[in-house]
């Protein structure tokens, strides 16, 4: 999948009103495909964060948008 439209260029401004909150173009259609993609992306995020931490660089920022009952708290596992 091509996620380039979701990347923000350094120094550019983000205007949330320019983004469609209903956009599902990067979401696989089937539940099985979504779960498989979630596993792959989670592993990649963890790998990148470990590399940044080891290099004493910046961390990873993930912005989540969802209603109060969207389950955002389930994204971050307890320490």
Chunked into runs of 10 residues, the chain (79 residues) has average pLDDT values of 81 89 85 89 87 81 74 63
Query: Would you state the pLDDT for residue 1?
Result: 65
How high is the mean pLDDT of the chain?
Answer: 81
What's the pTM? 0.52
Helix (H) or strand (E) holding 13: none
For residue 65, CA distances in Å to 9, 47, 50, 57 come to 20, 23, 25, 26
Note the pLDDT tens digit of each residue in 37-59. Answer: 888 888 988 888 888 888 887 76
Q: Are 75 and 64 in contact (CB under 8 A)?
A: yes
């Amino acid at each position: 999948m091509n996620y380039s439209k979701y990347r923000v260029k350094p120094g550019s401004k983000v205007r949330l009103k320019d983004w469609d909150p209903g956009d599902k173009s990067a979401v696989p259609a089937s539940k099985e495909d979504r779960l498989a993609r979630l596993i792959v992306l989670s592993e990649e995020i963890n790998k990148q964060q470990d590399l940044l931490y080891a290099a004493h660089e910046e961390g990873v920022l993930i912005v989540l948008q969802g209603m109060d009952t969207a389950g955002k708290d389930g994204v971050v596992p307890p320490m």
